[in-house]
Structure 1
Amino acid sequence: MSTTPAQQVVQTVPSGLFIGGHWREGRREHRIDVENPATGEVLTTVADADETDGREALDAAVAAQASWARTPSRERAEVLRRAFDLLTARADEFALLMTLEMGKPLAEARGEVTYGAEFLRWFSEEAPRISGRYAPNPVGGSRLLTTKAPVGPTLMITPWNFPLAMATRKVAPAVAAGCTMVVKPATATPLTMLKFAELMSEAGLPDGVLNVVTTSTTGRVTAPLLADPRLRKLTFTGSTEVGRKLIAASADQVLRVSMELGGNAPFLVFDDADLDRAVEGALAAKMRNTGEACTAANRFYVQRGVAAEFTERFADRLGNLVVGDGVEPGTQVGPLIDAGARADVAARVDEAVLAGGKVLTGGAPVGDRGYFYAPTLVTDVPAGARLLTEETFGPVAPVVVFDTEDEALTLANATEFGLIAYAFTRDLDRGLRVAEALETGMVGLNAGVVSNAAAPFGGVKASGYGREGGFEGIEEYLETKYVGIG
């Protein structure tokens, strides 16, 4: 019996733990089912690590740290460049794998491969530029020397929504800086990370530098690592709730910590906005990854003069998007990650409607298999509704009308989150003024997508701290040493 392309790509993925450069089974007999959210069917199973497996992964990272830190930066750069070339050549394979385990349409998955690969190329170029400084003491009598050194063994916990890009965004700067790693990928989407680990080994990454453990009991496996004095850094992308717990757990060892946490992105449309551009930006900011992104626009604030036209046009675009299995040609919106995610989105919409909200398009699950929910626009959403106060991971756009710039900024900033905001206006002065006043780490000004490997990604307030990407990204994996020369 012949196999389909989907079956073929799944069969090529290693299903064990990657520790010390070798693939092996976990100690538990139990294995983790990896489900296709478009069908609800199990794609394959992977190893389920226990605490001993996790500790052995850290052992391997610690054993490799000294020699990897001594490796010339140019050699580290060449590993990343080879990985970039390999990933680019296998873009279709990785894209299909992501679509199968996460659900995003193939076109978006291909975009993620391009985006994810760019971190490998960017940090391959940053590795040789790691440097310190030499200067005379301003008061005379001595000299100042600073150098940079890798932080050391790092625990990386990655999310399910961008299985490749969230891996490369962490792994690439760590490799460039000379840090070894233990990666714990999301239980729902581990296949892409396992395949990427195999690729990094093929690119020449030495044994033990990158270790990957899949587990269904993340807390039990990572807690001993966070308490181990040999671990020197934790980087996490995920919910603020979990991030707070990890920050607390890292305090005893005073770990270097990077947190990319939740968002509740406001999207502001002013009366003078180019509405064609604003609608396209709204579609991109809301529907990327089916709305399952921390950067997704979550609250739409539209000035009264253009509110009716913008809302009508946005609702029309949302209502005409093609919902379906991401592997099917023409699909624009894939499934949510699982049944719980779809139920949560549906509950939030239903609550808003009961409180007076009006659904202009969507508002219900789609199909009888998989976890699909229709792209939805809701108006007249009351201020206390969860659609406005919490991050909604799904294809739902609540629209609220405002009158003044000050009102818009007050509404936009009235949240504990501060990852990203979007603003559309033709007035340059207003655009810059608003961008400066928004309490976020990133702003899309007349742009619905801002993610770029060459730019620092990260938030403020409860959206975390630290930056990934850009010149700033590698600094998260480096320590500064000062030498005073008499």
Structure 2
Amino acid sequence: MTEQHRHAEVTARALAIAPTELFVDGAWRPAADGATLDIANPATGAVLATIASAGPDDARAALDAAASARDDWARTPARTRSELLRAAFERVHELGEEFAALMTLEMGKPLTDARAEVTYGAEFLRWYAEEAVRINGRYAASPEGNLRLLTVRRPVGPCLFITPWNFPLAMATRKIAPALAAGCTVVLKPAALTPLTSLALARVLEAVGVPAGVVNVVPTASAGAVTDPLLADRRLRKLSFTGSTAVGRSLLRTSADNVLRTSMELGGCAPFIVFEDADLDLAVENAVRTKMRNIGQACNAANSFHVQRGVVEAFTDRLTERLGSLPIGNGLDVGVEVGPLVSEDARADVDTLVRDAVAAGARVATGGAVPEGPGSFYPPTVLADVPADAAILGREIFGPVAPVTSFDTEEEVLARANASEVGLAGYLHTGDMARVLRFAERLEVGLLGVNSPAISNAAAPFGGVKHSGLGREGGPEGIEEYLETVYVGLTDPFA
């Protein structure tokens, strides 16, 4: 079989699991106004599919469905909700290769990364299947003894989820799974660049028996036209958004009018800090993994590399060698480790940051140039000798670019890292456990990886501080975002 034939076969299998219509109230339907949206493959520029593009009428219909299904779903036994989520987990794994190829096709990530996302994304369905049956209140006597204090947990109500393009499966399951476990109904608006995976997930949820109206999926080319009327509707009680800080601020302002519960997972600018006492081989390998996961297009990806002066040259040389040797190409091809960026605009943004850094005094150690040919590819790039005040160190790069700068003292690098307005993730490499504890208490981030490149886990809370957002996703904390606490004061039964 030729490579061309293999690509065609893999593409056909992947696209077969992804509907092209809106999913509203348990039915697949075209947009009310007939609008459509083309989905392109960033590796080739070819159109993969043409799907329905929702408008305001479709958004209202989706919320109508979620509001109508609200009470029945909230009263559905927790065990039933749990078993539906578990069945969805198993079905996603059964279709794992198709989901992985679908994400590679619409987003560009190599199949190895896409398969890892299937495992990670599906795990939220399993984790919250287990959490669904562990929603508890409490019972206690008041300090004065005249009351019994009873708390009841109940679902917040219909939710709107706005997900990004970079992890199309995991960002959907990370929101949908805890919401369904808690008894909430949802409307999902996936990113316009990568909606096929969300539509495929909706089909899985439909197939395992999630009732009509509980999950509704409305991809659109006109985000504001869909989300604005929903945010203004009093039936909506929760917004969860993953995306840029700028858009998050705007959504928070809009949500204030309706006093919505909000969860915001916003921008990051993760520092990767290496001390002279670190295992340098491990630090370099972890730097490659956390920088190049998803081609650098991850909010928790290492963004700037701060290396203590005594090892900065050795670290830079080894990182340059590793990144410069990574195979680049179509993510469907065997052995490829670097696929295209999601769009031409994304590549242009990354290239501008690199050129600005070079103008500020950085040296290109490898990469740093837009390649010829089709697809929005950008080579893995190491920028050496980056001045401490270079703008690239404080910007979210969202691409395969590693700017390396040096530092001398712990206080210096802490001050530099904490100067950022965002604080999602950080990475620390050191052999000093006392230093680890100091950084855990002083580095202003919501996630800290210590001598490790991968810290996201369905069982752990994910979220940031400062302008990186509000709330947490994952872990026991994640389901709290979808529950209200009601207090009942009971007269002392012994009075």
TM-score by length of 1: 0.99
- Please tell me whether the aligned partners of residues 435 and 445 of structure 1 are also in contact (alpha carbons under 8 angstroms): no
Equivalent residue for 2:90?
A: 85
Written as runs of structure 1 = structure 2, the 5 A alignment for 1:63-462 is: 63-462=68-467
**Residues matched between the structures, number:** 486
Whole-angstrom distance in 2 between the partners of 1:35 and 1:417: 32
Identity of aligned residues (%): 60
What is the deviation of 1:389?
A: 1.8
- Structure 1 counterpart of 2:465, which letter? V
Task: For 1:29 and 1:83, locate their aligned partners in 2 and report how far apart those are by CA, in whole Å.
Answer: 31
Provide the C-alpha distance between the structure 2 equivalents of 1:12 and 1:143, rounded to a whole number of angstroms. 53
- Stretches of structure 1 that go unaligned for 5 or more consecutive residues are none
Letter of the aligned partner of 1:109 in structure 2? A
Partner secondary structure for residue 455 of structure 1: coil
CA distance in 1, matches of 2:17, 2:74: 32
Opposite residue 184 of structure 1, the aligned amino acid is K
Q: Is residue 58 of structure 1 aligned with residue 63 of structure 2? A: yes
Q: Describe the SS at the equivalent of 1:440.
A: coil
Q: Which residue of 1 aligns with 2:41?
A: 36
Q: CA deviation at 1:298?
A: 0.5
User: Aligned Cα RMSD in Å?
Assistant: 1.1
SS in structure 1 opposite 2:481? helix
The letter for the 2-side match of 1:263 is G
The one-letter amino acid paired with 2:104 is T
Once the two structures are overlaid, the 10-residue window that deviates more, 375-384 or 35-44, is 375-384
Specify the SS of the correspondent of 1:365: coil
Query: Moved runs in structure 1, 4+ residues, more than 4 A?
Result: none
Shift of 1:384: 4.1
User: For each residue in 1:408-444, what CA deviation from the matched residue of structure 2 results, as whole angstroms up to 9, or x when unmatched?
Assistant: 1011111000000000000111111122210000100
| Whole-Å separation in 2 of the counterparts to 1:411 and 1:281 | 22
Answer yes or no: is the 8 Å Cα contact 2:447–2:464 preserved in 1.
yes
Unaligned runs of 5+ in 2: none
Matched to 1:323, the amino acid is: I
CA contact (8 A) 1:143 1:485 kept: yes
Partner Cα separation in structure 1 for residue 203 and residue 16 of structure 2: 14
In 2, Cα distance between equivalents of 1:92 and 1:177: 30
What letter matches 1:276 in structure 2?
Answer: D
Amino acid at match of 1:125: E
Distance, in Å, in 2 between the alignment partners of 1:300 and 1:436 is 20
**1:158–1:166 Cα contact (<8 Å) kept:** yes
Q: Which deviates more, 362-371 or 379-388?
A: 379-388
Match of 1:24 in 2: 29
Does the residue aligned with 1:305 lie in a helix, a strand or coil? helix
Contact 2:17 2:98 survives alignment (8 Å):
no
Q: Which moved more, 1:429-438 or 1:454-463?
A: 429-438
CA drift of 1:101 comes to 0.3
* Per-residue deviation, 1:356: 1.2
Local SS of the residue matching 2:403: strand
